[in-house]
Copies of this chain bind each other. A is one copy, B any other.
Amino acid sequence: MESADELAFHPLKKIEIILPGEKQAFVRELLERSGCTGWTLFRDVAGQGHHGFHEGRLLWNDQASIVMFMAVGSEAVIRKVAAGLKPLFAKGSGVMFVSDTHVVRLEHFLSADGAD
């Protein structure tokens, strides 16, 4: 077993995407098209608000079926995903959060097609 001291953590970006379940297929295709090699999906979460300062309205409520995608990739890949979501979210259909994270096996998060 490898020693804990020898582990290298490689920096990547994580995006969390929260949106109505009916938009799942769009996100899956966007992730793939952007070169994101994997994702995790949390189904049937609940959410409220994220109503905007400007809009003064709810974007969704407790009744809606909401899902959260969590995906990790290079900054270039995550930027592509975020850019692809922005038009959808401008209409009030979801939110996304981008954070720093680290992985041990970097090669699993680099796509083969040079997207990152």
Residues of A within 8 A of B (CB): 1-7, 9, 14, 16, 18, 28, 36-54, 56, 59, 66, 68, 70, 72, 76, 79-80, 82-84, 86-87, 89-90, 95-105, 107-112
B45 and A38 contacting across the interface, CB-CB below 8 Å: no
**Contacting A82 at CB < 8 Å: which of B7, B28, B53, B56?**
B7
- Inter-chain CA distance A39–B45, complex, in Å, is 10
A47 and B39 contacting across the interface, CB-CB below 8 Å: yes
Given contacts A53-B112, A68-B40, A100-B99, contact A83 B48 (CB under 8 A): no
Given contacts A43-B46, A46-B40, A50-B109, contact A14 B86 (CB under 8 A): no
Most buried by B among A40, A43, A98: A40
Residues of chain B lying within 8 A (CB to CB) of residue A39:
47-49
The minimal Cβ–Cβ distance linking A6 to chain B, given in whole angstroms, is 8
